[in-house]
Amino acid sequence: MQLIQSKATAMSSREIAELTEKQHGNVIRDIRHMITELSGDDSDLNHQFTELKDPRGYTSEVMLDRELTETLITGYSVVLRNRVIKRLRELEEQQAAPSFSIPSTLSGALRLAAEQAEQIEQQQVLIKQQQPAVEFVGKYVQAEGLKGFREVAKLLGAKEHAFREFLTENRIMYMLGGEWTAYAQHLDAGRFEVKTATTASGRAVCSSKFTTKGVNWIAGLWAVEAIKQQPLRATR
């Protein structure tokens, strides 16, 4: 499998699994079957999908373009297909939305300048407020070895339910088979390592553990997030 080179809309197998309420491994299986079938039809699929690997060389997720995504979900129920198609439309709208428009009037330009000046002022205040977060990471986070979800929550003084929501909403980790699993980009960045354990019944269970680098990284994000929740105070 090869990397997608275009900037076309793409969807992750993990997001497809979440939307269709299927096991991610089953979605990967469906994708492999689809690719095999389409390859036999002399189709050039190399530019339409990306296979991402974890440090062990196993497939962590697959990115599909719109055409392959729609082909994959053809056999799913109407409700599940509708969820995925709606999400595809959202992704396309996000790509198509202009990030900036030039004011066409003097009043519009003045209003934009005032808004930008306010944003700069708020950013300067935020930078000052974030200093404790930097000090927190530098002075208090002394993590060695690999740490699990609860260990890191305790280390940061975070309530587990709030820390869980933070990790999920920021697409840092997600639950898979009852275990916290890190997204591929964070594994690649060295913030997590995947460890395999065997249960009493002999079943192999994989979970993602924070590395020392990952603990320091998440500590900074967590501290900044807490500061952002506080109202900005105007500078004098």
Q: List, for residues 49-69, the tens digit of each pLDDT value.
A: 888 887 778 888 889 888 888
Rg (CA), the chain: 22
Beta sheet of 59-65, edge-to-edge order: 10-12, 59-65, 49-53
Whether 233 has a pLDDT exceeding 50, the answer reads: no
| Residue 98 pLDDT | 57
Q: Within 10 A of 212 (CB to CB), how many other CB atoms are there?
A: 16
Burial of 214 (0-12, 13-18, 19+ CB in 10 A): buried
pLDDT above 70 coverage of the chain, percent: 73
Of residues 24 and 47, the one with the higher pLDDT is 24
DSSP state of 159: -
pLDDT for res 234 = 42
Which CA distances in Å does 40 have to 3, 33, 47, 71? 20, 11, 16, 15
Locate the domains of the chain by residue range: 10-96, 129-228
Closest among 175, 133, 180, 181 to 156, alpha carbons compared = 133
Q: Determine the pLDDT at residue 145.
A: 74
d(CA 53, CA 215): 22
